[in-house]
């Protein structure tokens, strides 16, 4: 069976892609963020995952307000980058992991998740930036399975439902008939609001409590309703649902999850940015 080695989480602010493109990693504004990645690069170099399952949210590229699925799973042989113009100008296509995609799709349907299956799928900065942050040199060395979660248009899925989705995806990974090593990635957040009366809102206290809970009490955030999460994290801060799905997936792989490295930094583009790596134990 496949081995689920751990989970990663990172913010996907579009300006990060521009900073990478312009080589601004050592710029004083960007350095505290980029300096948090080398320990994770080292860990990934040791573990060498073959496949990544990416929990992320689409920003209107595949799904717009007229057609917004709650959950969608990519089942394509290849995923092309079609970023909105803020990120890295050109990236090679990302290779899909079709066998795992269909195993996840079938597992989720069997567990009564009503999903959209996408045999063609474009990916934007929410999917591409984490791959470039975690593997900055050359083309991406892993195949991918994108899992898109709606955080754009209400009604949004409850935190408890997203956590259950993550657990089901983790069960699919660990039951996949393969000798490959798999990592799960959460792309998004943490607290931020880009518009309205609370534009610029950041809740550092809640963010840090949430990050701590991923290590010690992974179901902690499932106590909140989606409206409570919006109040605590901002309209776009609900992207932390991706982190919750990632942590849910890890519960199926072993007795727990060991912290490899984490960092929290504010602000980048009025957003609380964070990065974390957890290893299954």
How crowded is the C-beta side of 26, counted as CA atoms within 13 Å?
0
CB contact set of 247 (below 8 Å; sequence gap of 6+): 7, 163, 166, 186, 214, 218, 257, 278
Q: Annotated catalytic sites, by residue? A: 125, 192
Helix (H) or strand (E) holding 246: helix 240-250
Question: Is 149 within 8 Å of 56 (Cβ atoms)?
Answer: yes
Q: Which two tokens stand for residue 123?
A: 């990916």
What span, in angstroms and rounded, lies between the C-alpha atoms of 150 and 273? 20
What span, in angstroms and rounded, lies between the C-alpha atoms of 1 and 149? 26
């Amino acid at each position: 069976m496949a081995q689920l080695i751990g989970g990663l989480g990172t913010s996907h602010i579009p300006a990060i892609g521009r900073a990478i493109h312009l080589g601004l990693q050592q710029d004083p504004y960007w350095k505290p963020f980029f300096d948090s990645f080398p320990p994770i690069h080292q860990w990934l170099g040791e573990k060498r995952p073959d496949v990544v399952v990416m929990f992320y949210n689409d920003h209107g590229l595949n799904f717009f307000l007229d057609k917004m699925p709650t959950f969608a799973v990519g089942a394509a042989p290849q995923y092309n980058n079609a970023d909105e113009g803020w990120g890295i100008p050109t990236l090679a296509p990302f290779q899909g992991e079709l066998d795992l995609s269909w195993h996840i799709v079938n597992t989720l349907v069997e567990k009564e998740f009503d999903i959209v299956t996408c045999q063609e799928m474009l990916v934007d900065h929410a999917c591409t930036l984490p791959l470039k942050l975690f593997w900055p040199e050359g083309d991406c060395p892993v195949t991918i399975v994108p899992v898109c979660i709606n955080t754009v248009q209400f009604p949004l899925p409850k935190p408890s439902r997203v956590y259950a989705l993550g657990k089901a995806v983790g069960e699919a990974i660990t039951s996949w008939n393969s000798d490959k090593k798999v990592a799960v990635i959460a792309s998004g957040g943490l607290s931020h609001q880009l518009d309205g009366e609370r534009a610029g809102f950041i809740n550092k206290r809640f963010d840090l409590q949430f990050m701590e809970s991923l290590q010690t009490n992974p179901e902690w955030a499932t106590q909140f309703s989606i409206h409570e999460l919006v109040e605590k994290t901002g309209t776009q801060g609900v992207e932390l649902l991706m982190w919750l799905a990632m942590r849910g997936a890890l519960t199926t792989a072993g007795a727990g999850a060991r912290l490899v490295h984490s960092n929290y930094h504010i602000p980048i583009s009025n957003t609380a940015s964070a990065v974390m790596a957890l290893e299954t134990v």
